[in-house]
Structure 1
Amino acid sequence: MKYRDYVKQEIAVIKDRDPAIKSDKEVYLYPSFKAILKYRKAHKLYLKGEYYKARKISQKTARQTGIEIHPGAQIGEGLFIDHGHGVVIGETAIIGNNVTLYQGVTLGGTGKEQGKRHPTLGNNIMVGAGAKILGSVTIGDNCKIGAGSVVLKDVPANSTVVGVPGRVVIQDSVRLFDDLDQIHLPDPVMQDIENLKQENARLKKRLAHLENSVNESRSSYDDN
């Protein structure tokens, strides 16, 4: 795709996904607009083996926009980075088409892997603010990663993930828990805490019953 075509595409993507944009001119002020177009230029240099020039462009862009995209990353069409400060995309990350990343998202490594050490995202994916996807994991098509989630394992297609560590709570439109919030993303951590509280209450009740039984037995023994 020619550079002019990338420009037109990014304008269309940003206007489509951000209702705050009222004109084409405003798009040019958008941090992700500059970050993604500069990435395209740096990526071409990276593929030619001009690594220093490529990194120089990406680092300068990171200082200007707050969005750090390694020139070695492979990014499809229609990437949208909304309020992108703090977004980091690693060298071996692969991103499919029509992906949306929000503020503070990290597609990073764990520090223990070699070779392919960053995530692979499929098509039509939304990653919420502050979410971290770490290591050479694969996120299937049509997934949603909740804000603040930490994903360390592969996620099957058509899934919703929340929590730390990330857990699949909806898959293929089927809720994996019976008592999920019907409006907001569910919170499996709070659900686990609530289950522990209920189990603790049952254990306390059972212990009290056993203590009463022991006391009654002692009283009967003493009377005899």
Structure 2
Amino acid sequence: MSARLAARAAGVASASDMRTVDEMPLFEVMREDARAALERDPAANSIWDIVLYSTGTHIVWAHRRHHWLYTHGMRGLALLLAKRTRRRLGADIFPSAQIGRRFTIDHGIGVVIGATSIIGDDCLVYQGVTFGMTGKHGGKRHPTLGNNVMVGAGAIVLGDITVGDNAKVAAGSVVVHDVPHDVTVAGVPAKVVRDRRFSGPHLVEDDFDPSELDDENIRWSCTL
């Protein structure tokens, strides 16, 4: 079995595990992050490519350590290490930000994630993304992302808003209002450009993968 197929199999097994990040050993969470990055990165040939060379994964791992320290009473040390990571890797993630399992940052340079941000499981973020606030200086002031959310390069998501499960935010968008689940938003300010919230019957199952079919013509027709 190839490294990528092994990562996919591990991801399927993890999906049935309902534990939160805070209920798991730190290194188990980091292993999941590496497998998720391998599954999503076509340039990586093995898990070692991720471990050794993936800046985005190194940023995620740094935050995992900082968050553990922050939540275990070592706030000052967590902030100091986060400052060092900001200089070394070019990303600024506040240690108190809550980030779910199998989180992937692709490339990672210029990513900013504010202190009260909450990010669900299986999310993918590209370079230059900002999860910021809109002038409110107390309480919850940063975005909340559901599960399986993708945020494109250079997108800005501001304020105490919610981005629903399976939503996609196009590159360069500015999001200042809630985003429903299963939609794609784009623009400044961002608006819904694609809606996948179809509740009627489906011709195939939701988890159907056309790449597993043997006939190339059938695979292409199913992906249209």
Tell me which residue corresponds to 1:147: 171
> What is the deviation of 1:6?
2.4
Q: What SS does the aligned partner of 1:107 have?
A: strand
Q: Is the 8 A contact 2:59 2:108 kept in 1?
A: no
Cα distance in 1 for residues equivalent to 2:28 and 2:73? 24
Structure 1, gaps ≥5 residues long:
175-224
Structure 2 residue identity aligned to 1:23: S
Cα distance in 2 for residues equivalent to 1:133 and 1:119? 7
Q: What SS does the aligned partner of 1:168 have?
A: strand
Cα distance in 2 for residues equivalent to 1:91 and 1:112? 12
Bigger radius of gyration, 1 or 2? 1
Tell me which residue corresponds to 2:149: 125
- Cα-to-partner distance string for 1:40-68 (whole Å, 9 max, x where unaligned): 11112211332211111111112221121
Q: How well do the aligned residues superpose, as a CA RMSD in angstroms?
A: 1.4
Q: What SS does the aligned partner of 2:185 have?
A: strand
Tell me which residue corresponds to 1:9: 32
Cα distance in 1 for residues equivalent to 2:152 and 2:177? 17
> Which runs of structure 2 are paired with 1:57-206 in the superposition (5 Å)?
57-173=81-197
Structure 2 residue identity aligned to 1:20: A
Structure 2 residue identity aligned to 1:32: G
Tell me which residue corresponds to 2:59: 35
Cα distance in 2 for residues equivalent to 1:56 and 1:107? 21
- For normalisation by structure 2, the TM-score amounts to 0.74
> What is the deviation of 1:170?
2.1
Tell me which residue corresponds to 1:214: none
> What is the deviation of 1:27?
1.1
Pick from 44, 51, 64: which aligns with 2:75?
A: 51
> What is the deviation of 1:113?
4.2
Structure 2 residue identity aligned to 1:70: F
Q: What SS does the aligned partner of 2:44 have?
A: coil
Cα distance in 1 for residues equivalent to 2:69 and 2:28? 19
Q: What SS does the aligned partner of 1:169 have?
A: strand
Cα distance in 1 for residues equivalent to 2:27 and 2:122? 19
Q: Is the 8 A contact 1:88 1:107 kept in 2?
A: yes
Q: How many residues align?
A: 174
Cα distance in 1 for residues equivalent to 2:31 and 2:75? 27
- Cα-to-partner distance string for 1:113-138 (whole Å, 9 max, x where unaligned): 42100000000111010000001000
- For normalisation by structure 1, the TM-score amounts to 0.74
Q: What SS does the aligned partner of 1:142 have?
A: coil
Cα distance in 2 for residues equivalent to 1:4 and 1:112? 35
Q: Which has the higher contact order (CA 8 A, sep 6+)?
A: 2
Pick from 20, 28, 44: which aligns with 2:43?
A: 20
Q: What SS does the aligned partner of 2:180 have?
A: coil
Give identity over the alignment, percent.
Answer: 47
Structure 1 residue identity aligned to 2:99: I
Q: What SS does the aligned partner of 2:154 have?
A: coil
- Cα-to-partner distance string for 1:118-175 (whole Å, 9 max, x where unaligned): 000000111010000001000010100010000001111111100001111222357x
